[in-house]
Amino acid sequence: MPIKNNRLTAEQYEQNFSDIHPPFDSRESALVEANRCLFCYDAPCTKSCPTSINIPKFIKQITTDNVKGSAHTIFVSNIMGAGCSRVCPVEKLCEGACVFNLLEEPPIPIARLQRYSTEMAMEKKWQLFERKPATGKKVAIVGAGPAGLSCAHVLSREGIDVTVYEKESRGGGLMTYGIAAYKVTPRFCEDEVNYITSLGGIHIKYNQELGKDLTLAELKNNYDAVFLGFGVGLARQLDIPGEELGGVVDAIKFIYDIRAGAYQQVPVGDRVAVIGMGMTAIDAATQAKRLGAKDVTLVYRRTQEEMPCTEAELDLAKLDGCRVIWLAAPAMLKGEHGKVTQLVCSLMQLGEPDTSGRRYPVATGEQFILEVDMVIKAAGQIPFSELVTASQLENTYGKVVVQTNGATNIAGVFAGGDCVNGGKEVVDAVQAGKIGAGAILEYLF
């Protein structure tokens, strides 16, 4: 059976894409966990959160029935605290640092508790922030993703009028378009964007792409400052023969289609190979399986030691029935009638450590063949080099170069998030937005 859509019943799709981390059913169940929290001093969980959410405080506030205060504690540090509670790789951040791990006890389910407070805030539409009187200053932000929205929220609170230019027709960035649907639904992302902008003073202009519909020079002329948070977008190519064959797709495009439309409309193969072992690779592999693919194989050129995804993510893929082949690098794609049929892989072995400190894989000379009808490329994303260069931004391989406060080489232009770091977590982008906003405020006043 070739690549096709509509493989499952509506119920099966519903079940396969339902919430993977269901929320607490009740106040009582949240309290059982919240009451376990020791309320650590100078807490390791907070120190392990890129946005430094005061976690012991927000959990304590749940136990005192001050959920409004709890949500405020979260949002004041991380305005995307609701989304982060679903997508953060908490096992390597807050929950990974929870002192209960040192007692060999399950850590406090921080993400789930964070979800409890933030979702209640969103549902009840609590207005937890108030804008200061208008300053008359205006700032343009490029990209309505986590970095841009986080920056926008801080600035608007300080009385600045913010205009956000977004190339897609919806906000949220990779949160909306690049993360597995069983973690956050498109509907949730929309609600979250609306909740953030309900503060006022943030105007998002959709379908406005930098370099196409507007230029950095125009923004600089029309606004008092500019924040760039346009992320990364282009999938890294494999640069191997046969890459142009039918059935060879980008993970980002694949995930985007799942999130932008209806599940049954997204085609998937019988035998799918996913190249890479990052979070995006996992999201692509598990979702291919959940769309009805028979066999899904993750192909990674290094070993489990070096994989970028977390153990929890790997377990997720394994539980979904995905196969993993370590030390295998794609060498060639073969096809029939213009459609991919085989993935030829080189068997690798680990050599000396590279610049990332991880041992670099080198070919052994042996090869093996994987019968496939679909190949999803998730070998990383590359920055918008052309756009960055054309905008005269100092950069390294397309990644915008900034100072610690987010300032670029152009006065009044700041940047943060994936377009600077090349692609990290949502929570890192939120923090970059906050830092950029702080620098803009200093620049303006």
Q: How many residues bind another protein (CB under 8 A)?
A: 20
Residue ranges in 84-113 that form contacts with another protein under rule CB under 8 A:
97, 99-100, 102-103
In the complex, least distance from residue 246 CB atom to another protein, rounded to whole angstroms? 48
32 binds another protein (CB under 8 A): yes
Residues linked to residue 413 through DSSP beta bridges, in sequence order? 226
Contact partners, residue 359, CB within 8 Å, separation at least 6? 302, 305, 306, 350, 351, 352, 353
43/379 with CB nearer another protein: 43
Choosing from 9, 18, 35, 409, the residue that interacts with another protein (CB under 8 A) is: 35
186 binds another protein (CB under 8 A): no
How far apart are alpha carbons 99 and 39 in whole angstroms?
10
**Secondary structure (3-state) at 61:** helix
63 binds another protein (CB under 8 A): yes
Choosing from 48, 51, 70, 395, the residue that interacts with another protein (CB under 8 A) is: 48
How far apart are alpha carbons 199 and 192 in whole angstroms?
12
**Secondary structure (3-state) at 364:** strand
In the complex, least distance from residue 77 CB atom to another protein, rounded to whole angstroms? 16
Per-residue tokens: 34: 């919240």
Which stretch in 26-34, 174-182, 293-301, 382-390 sits in contact with another protein by CB under 8 A?
26-34
Per-residue tokens: 235: 């999938």
103/411 with CB nearer another protein: 103
45 binds another protein (CB under 8 A): yes
Which stretch in 42-50, 72-80, 250-258, 331-339 sits in contact with another protein by CB under 8 A?
42-50
In the complex, least distance from residue 424 CB atom to another protein, rounded to whole angstroms? 18
In the complex, least distance from residue 103 CB atom to another protein, rounded to whole angstroms? 6
25 binds another protein (CB under 8 A): no
> Counting runs of H as helices and runs of E as strands, what totals does the chain give?
18, 17
255 binds another protein (CB under 8 A): no
68 binds another protein (CB under 8 A): no
How far apart are alpha carbons 391 and 217 in whole angstroms?
8
Which residue, chain included where needed, has tokens 């600045």?
160
Choosing from 3, 8, 31, 382, the residue that interacts with another protein (CB under 8 A) is: 31
How far apart are alpha carbons 279 and 286 in whole angstroms?
11
41 binds another protein (CB under 8 A): yes
Kindly provide the residue ranges of all beta strands, DSSP E only, lying in 286-412, ordered along the sequence: 295-299, 323-325, 328-336, 339-353, 359-371, 374-377, 381-382, 395-396, 399-400
99/444 with CB nearer another protein: 99
Question: Which string of b and e fits 359-393 if b means at least 16 CB within 10 Å?
Answer: bebeeeeeeeebebbbbbbbbbbbbbeebbeebeb
End-to-end Cα spacing for the chain:
63
61/287 with CB nearer another protein: 61
In the complex, least distance from residue 101 CB atom to another protein, rounded to whole angstroms? 9
In the complex, least distance from residue 31 CB atom to another protein, rounded to whole angstroms? 6
Interface ranges with another protein (CB under 8 A) = 31-32, 34-35, 38-45, 47-48, 63, 97, 99-100, 102-103
